[in-house]
A and B are shown apart, each in its own frame.
Chain A
Amino acid sequence: MRLKHLALGLAVVMAVPAAVTAAQAENGIFLPQFTYRTGPFAGSGIPIGNGIHDYLTMLNERDGGIGGVKIISEECEDGYNTQRGVQCYDSVKDRHPVLVTPYSTGITEQLIPRAAVDKIPILSMAYGLSASADGTDFPWIFNAPDTYWDGASAFIRYAANKDGGFGKLKGKTIGLLYLDHPYGREPIPLLQALAKDYGFHLKLYPVPLSSMQSQSSEWLDIRRDRPEWLYIQGWGAMNPAAVQEAARNGFRMDHLVGVWWSGGDDDARPAGPGGKGYTTLDINNVGTNFPAIQDILKYVVNKGKSQTPKSQVGENLYDRAVLNAVLMVEPIRIAQKLTGKKEVTGADVRRGLEALNITEARWKELGLPNFAEPVHLTCSDHNGHSKIFVVKWNGTKWIKQPGSLEPIHSKVQPLIDAAAAQYVKAHAGWPKRTEPCQKSS
């Protein structure tokens, strides 16, 4: 019966609650990071986590933080699981983060109602709730530089440009292959509206979460419907599976267009030579040929201060994360300027976000010339609806295509207004905006 005693003892030890970590007394700006380096979305989550970590570490090493204040960054692993993400938020909330970036549409939607109460702004960079671009109804939520509706409209513009004008879309079949999840369903209302306006047929191919790695039934449908263009709104393990299936089914790769989140290097690579020509929208440039990214290599990666393999620096999702980190840091800088304080609060950073204006010149100053389109946010527009790049996979890496696409603003804005109104109506008692507007700097 020794073993039983052991088990009993073990149970008693387990029952003793684990010691709670002492709150960090260190001074600085607390910028927690929610990551998913584990689970089925790790393929997308790892480069994202690395990029943000490395850029923030680089600022700490090179400049001693932001405006002389060290950045305290801490990762919380959520495995892209909404429940775990909310847990992460609860664990960091009391330490007064100045900004959170959930990196999951599901987690973002959970946190949106809490942001105003906790006075912690949320930056969901080009993901999350499209309606939260409306700053009047969502003063604490920012989803710059583009919404999924901007993305889907840019895709239609791209298709029209290639086919020779919007008029040529009439009668054509355009498919949407999407993850059957709040994130994946986002572009549907916009594409439906555009289908009505331009007269193309929209076919929907939902991919359930449970079968995202084997999309054979969806591709059977695609083979049957033979859509002219196929737009992918996927994430994690769904993307490489979709590209591989497209190659196997002989779909024209240059007519397969992914949203920016379907543009990981590891999404396109597994398809081998068959993946050549796969196109995705993008909001950032790719490669390492930027002074700031060289600094990351010099101060962080080459010194072994990160988990990033050197080959990953400059990949599409890694650079996306650097863009995200810039959008986290710039508002803090502006907030420091606006308030004159060094250690800003969440409320200050919210003001900073509303005054965010990264011009072409500012991108250059940041050591990232032509890295992204200018981002300009205002009190009422928390998105900016920037122009969108296109990148093409050449078999080994992404190549940025010349020019950029303007989203179809006239179609996107009414949808945002309607969706924001619907959201506010569904949340009985949604608070009216009381925060004063920041004059643009």
Chain B
Amino acid sequence: MLYREVGQYKTNYAADMALFPILQDRIGIAVILAIAFVLIPLSGNDFLLNAVMIPFLIFALAAIGLNLLTGYCGQLSLGTGAFMGVGAYACLKLTTFFPNVNIIVWIIASGFFSAAVGALFGLPSLRIKGFYLLVATLAAQFFLEWCFIRIPWLYNNVYSGNIVVPSRTLAGVPVTGPTATSLTRYLVVLSIVVIMTWVASNLVRGRIGRMWMAVRDMDLAAELIGIRLLRTKLLAFAVSSFYCGVAGAMLVFLWYGGAEPDVFNVDQSFISLFMVIIGGLGTMIGSFFGAALIYILPIALREVPAALGLPLYPATVEQLQFVIVGVLIIVFLVLEPNGLARLWQIGKQKLRVWPFPY
């Protein structure tokens, strides 16, 4: 009743090709953006901003990056953590050499370094597929992690080996470093994530995205209809790594404010892959769902016993949370192997015919 597109005529191509062709979707996205840009900042809750929203958005962006590669182009990768690391270290070096350039420019620019490294490690993808490619990208993960620990130049020779984030300002307002408020950092992260999500969702609907999907569905057939595999796959690796690199730079500069190399270990790669798989391969919204399930759900679960007044030890809560999240992941995957995004789609379909289903 509420969610029906009946009577919404598309009278030109632009309307037909719009990102959100249905009016209700447009209203919905406007409401979500209003909540994200106005309501959440107004709440002024530091914990919500700094410990929940900023990391959630950053992980969602990394998941989008991996989703472009794995979900849309069908290339499995376990190098996400390392590619995020390349972005972070590139951003550190760039802002060290050119401290006067706006840090946001460098955060975006660091994605290009990550893209180059990603394309390099994507080269084997022409020859090897599936799990074998997964192993090849794992090599990238270990090699880059080794670089982050063993090449002191990368972290400016700080003897502890940690990335140290200098204070940088945007129009006089501190954006990175300890004096930057969580609100500023949140708004910067949100803006970058919204714009990059918009770019990505248009990318996958266009020629490039269709090429990726053709390669994913059957690369031999794609080759026969004239898609050049090497270019397409390398482009997927490059774009995916670009997103991961920007996410990595934001992780260190806009969330942690400093990091040890261990942040970009193989766990990060696995977590990103889980986010994509649980959220839904080959969907934009799935990346957000996946990031929410893997990152926000544990935080929410930890608050439950306290909210109910249960006298549980924090360590017990921690163990319980591992069990519950693990079970939920299995439950969701058993009930809907195509991920949370598919559930969302089913929900929308049901809503469309509600209250008179046929």
- A residues adjacent to B (C-beta < 8 A): 3-4, 6-8, 10-11, 14, 17-21, 35, 37-38, 49, 75-77, 79, 82-83, 86-87, 90-91, 93-94, 106, 109-110, 113-114, 116-117, 129, 180-182, 185-186, 188-189, 209-210, 307, 419, 422-423, 426-429
Contact = CB atoms under 8 A, between A and B. Distances in A.
Nearest to A49: B315
B258 A110 contact: yes
Q: Which 9 A-B pairs have the closest CB atoms?
A: A37-B315, A18-B300, A113-B178, A7-B335, A428-B166, A429-B167, A90-B51, A77-B314, A182-B160
Interface in B320-348: 328, 331-332, 335-336, 340, 343-344, 346-347
A189 B159 contact: yes
A117 B46 CA distance: 14
B219 interface: no
B248 to A, nearest CB: 14
A321 B143 CA distance: 39
A401 B306 CA distance: 46
Contact of A10 (B167, B260, B331): B331
Nearest to B336: A7
7 contacts: A19-B307, A38-B318, A106-B260, A109-B160, A110-B258, A182-B160, A428-B166
B303 A21 contact: yes
Contacts of A49: 315
A190 B17 CA distance: 65
Contacts of B51: 86-87, 90-91
B258 A90 contact: no
A17 B300 contact: yes
A110 B301 contact: no
A19 B303 contact: yes
A18 B51 CA distance: 14
B158 interface: yes
Nearest to A418: B159
Contacts of A110: 256-259
Nearest to A33: B314
Q: B-side binding surface: helix, strand, loop or mixed?
A: helix
Contacts of B27: none
Contact of B346 (A4, A79, A419): A4
Contacts of B317: 77
A113 B257 contact: yes
Given A77-B315, A185-B159, A422-B158, A18 B149 contact: no
A174 B47 CA distance: 47
Contact of A6 (B161, B319, B335): B335
A77 B312 CA distance: 12
Interface residues of B, number: 55
Contacts of A20: 45, 303, 307
Contacts of A7: 331-332, 335-336, 343
The winner among B55, B99, B179 for most chain A CB atoms within 10 A is B179
A83 B297 CA distance: 16
B46 A94 contact: yes
Contacts of B293: 14
Interface in B227-268: 256-260, 262-263, 265
Nearest to B268: A83
A167 B96 CA distance: 44
Contacts of B318: 37-38, 77, 79
B356 to A, nearest CB: 17
B315 to A, nearest CB: 4
A281 B315 CA distance: 30
A8 B343 contact: yes
Contacts of A423: 158, 164
Given A94-B46, A180-B149, A429 B166 contact: yes
A7 B315 CA distance: 29
B187 to A, nearest CB: 17
A90 B45 CA distance: 10
Interface of B: 45-47, 50-51, 55, 99, 149, 156, 158-162, 164-167, 177-179, 256-260, 262-263, 265, 293, 297, 299-301, 303-304, 306-307, 313-315, 317-319, 328, 331-332, 335-336, 340, 343-344, 346-347, 350
B133 to A, nearest CB: 22
Nearest to B182: A90
Contacts of A6: 335
A422 B346 CA distance: 57
A interface majority secondary structure: helix
Nearest to A419: B159
A126 B350 CA distance: 60
B343 to A, nearest CB: 5
Report which residue of B47, B162, B307, B315 has the largest number of chain A beta carbons within 10 angstroms of its beta carbon.
Answer: B315
B178 A114 contact: yes
Contacts of A8: 343, 346-347, 350
Contacts of A307: 313
A113 B293 CA distance: 31
B354 to A, nearest CB: 13
Contacts of A19: 303, 307
A18 B304 contact: yes
Contacts of A419: 159
B256 A116 contact: no
Given A109-B258, A181-B262, A428 B167 contact: yes
Contact of A14 (B160, B164, B263, B297): B297
Q: Which of B156, B265, B313, B328 has the most C-beta atoms of chain A within 10 angstroms of its own C-beta?
A: B313
A10 B319 CA distance: 21
Contacts of A114: 178, 257
Nearest to B344: A11
Given A4-B346, A14-B293, A110-B257, A35 B315 contact: yes
B166 A426 contact: yes
A185 B160 contact: yes
Contacts of B50: 90
Given A11-B340, A109-B260, A129 B167 contact: no
A168 to B, nearest CB: 29
A300 to B, nearest CB: 15
Contacts of A113: 165, 177-178, 257-258
Nearest to B149: A180
Nearest to B296: A17
B234 to A, nearest CB: 30
Contacts of A21: 303, 306-307
A185 B161 contact: yes
B164 to A, nearest CB: 4
B336 A91 contact: no
Contacts of B262: 82, 106, 181, 209
Contact of A182 (B45, B260, B307, B335): B260
B178 to A, nearest CB: 4
Contacts of B164: 423, 426-427
Contacts of B45: 20
B178 A117 contact: yes
Contacts of B259: 82, 110
Nearest to B350: A8
A422 B319 contact: no
B3 to A, nearest CB: 15
A426 B156 contact: yes
